[in-house]
Amino acid sequence: MDPSFALETLLTHADLDPEELGIAPPIHQSVNYSAASMEEFDALNDQPRPERYYRRYGNPTQARLERVMAAIEGAESALATASGMGATTTTLLTLLSAGDHVVAQESMYGGTLSLLRDTLPRFDIAATLIDQSDTAAFEKAITARTKLIMIETPSNPLLRLTDIAAVAALARTHNILTFADNTVATPVNQRPLEQGVDLVMHSVTKAVSGHADVQAGVVCGRDELIERIWQAHIQVGSVISPFDAWLALRGLRTMSLRVERQNQCAQAVAEYLALHPAVRVVNYPGLADHPQHDLAKRQMRGYGSLLSFELRGGQKAAERLIPFLRIPVRSPSLGGTRSTLVRPAAMWSNELTAQQLAEAGVPGGLIRFAVGLEHERDLIADLDRGLATLAPAIGR
């Protein structure tokens, strides 16, 4: 496939086999494959990443998903996994050994934070978590043992940005690999490999598959790195099912249409909220007064589906507003067809202590809103009706 094709063309064509007559790809559900002789079977396993050997090693439907993801991220190859956390965990287990150190962000996906904070230290792998909006803090945190910098931008739920090109350049001068979680931005809006990052992962569960009906992940990068991650992957066993790979492929064909629509819709919702007197702050990189709006313009093509906001009435007002809303479902996740909304402090009360939440800068009243594919007019009307109930109830 011609890598100079636009993202839309790659999404619909990058996995095509010219011999194939079917317009939609088949689902290869078989766990193992046969060969004419034992020698031939053994030769299957001598290929770098066999697609027709044993399920855990690879699969033709999975390979098609990987071809499309590599193409749209501008990577040499990709490895699809059973979840985003499968991709992250397998990648970190590949790249890090006892005694190594990671620099990462205070504000990152909760599962990634627990992995860095609770699990990896048991294997003598330490992490320093810093404020991602301060590029100098990355450099300050580097030690002689630092092997990896992990970033996530925009971060969830505060929508803070990391200067991707600056951090990647800094890492390169120290011979450190960089790994970016690009889930929130999506490849439509941001391509970290073009900005010098070594590896990019996605929770395919979110906007890539786009319909909240499949759990999957992917990591993309140079052949040599993905080959090493695959070696760990066949031990970790975070294997995507062929049907889930097929669902992800089916969903991602329309990713640019969905994401561009969500960019527009989230911008409209953010602008509406920013002007509402009951709203104290709106976090959305597309707003001109976002503290890193200039950086957003430089490294993103669009600003994504995710925003968060705080009400003047704090947590109490948030708790009152949320049950009034009719359209967004009270659910985590993002990038699907339906808008979702959560109060992160309530959702993470089991995983993170109150102190960790405060350290991550997540106020009790913060509401995270991920727009779906509804019309912005209806989402705004719904919010407007809910916010009106927060005004002092005179005479009632």
**Residues found near ligand PLP in the complex (CB under 6 A):** 83-85, 109, 111, 152, 156, 181, 183-184, 203, 205-206, 215, 217
The distance of closest approach from Cβ of residue 87 to ligand PLP in the complex, given in angstroms and rounded to an integer, is: 8
d(CA 189, CA 208): 12
Question: 245 or 279, CB closer to ligand PLP?
Answer: 245
The residue type found at 49 is R
By the 8 A CB rule, do 77 and 66 touch? yes
The distance of closest approach from Cβ of residue 214 to ligand PLP in the complex, given in angstroms and rounded to an integer, is: 9
Read off φ and ψ for residue 369, nearest 5 degrees: -125, 125
d(CA 262, CA 264): 5
The active-site residue, picked from 160, 206, 343, 368, is 206
The distance of closest approach from Cβ of residue 184 to ligand PLP in the complex, given in angstroms and rounded to an integer, is: 5
Q: Which residue is nearest to ligand PLP (CB)?
A: 84
The active-site residue, picked from 15, 100, 163, 181, is 181
The active-site residue, picked from 49, 53, 57, 109, is 109
Q: Residue 390 carries which DSSP code?
A: T
By the 8 A CB rule, do 103 and 147 touch? no
- DSSP alpha helix (H) spans, 132-254: 135-141, 164-173, 186-189, 223-236, 242-252
The distance of closest approach from Cβ of residue 216 to ligand PLP in the complex, given in angstroms and rounded to an integer, is: 7
Q: Is 124 left (phi over 0), alpha (psi -120 to 50) or beta?
A: left
57 is catalytic: no
CA distances in angstroms from 39 to 35, 42, 60, listed in the order given: 8, 5, 22
Element (H, E) at 46: helix 38-46
33 is catalytic: no
Q: Which residue has the tokens 């770098």?
A: 48
55 is catalytic: yes
Question: 182 or 279, CB closer to ligand PLP?
Answer: 182
The active-site residue, picked from 52, 55, 320, 338, is 55
Find, among 157, 158, 177, 182, the residue nearest to 167 by Cα: 177
Q: How many CB atoms are closer than 10 A to CB 374? A: 16
**Helix, strand, coil shares, percent, the chain, to 5:** 45, 15, 40
Question: 202 or 276, CB closer to ligand PLP?
Answer: 202
The distance of closest approach from Cβ of residue 137 to ligand PLP in the complex, given in angstroms and rounded to an integer, is: 20
Read off φ and ψ for residue 32, nearest 5 degrees: -125, 165
Distance of CA 113 to the CA centre of its chain: 14
Find, among 292, 309, 291, 311, the residue nearest to 300 by Cα: 292
Question: 330 or 385, CB closer to ligand PLP?
Answer: 330
The distance of closest approach from Cβ of residue 85 to ligand PLP in the complex, given in angstroms and rounded to an integer, is: 4
244 is catalytic: no
The distance of closest approach from Cβ of residue 110 to ligand PLP in the complex, given in angstroms and rounded to an integer, is: 9
Find, among 57, 56, 63, the residue nearest to 27 by Cα: 63
Question: 50 or 111, CB closer to ligand PLP?
Answer: 111
Question: 221 or 386, CB closer to ligand PLP?
Answer: 221
Catalytically annotated residues: 55, 109, 181, 206
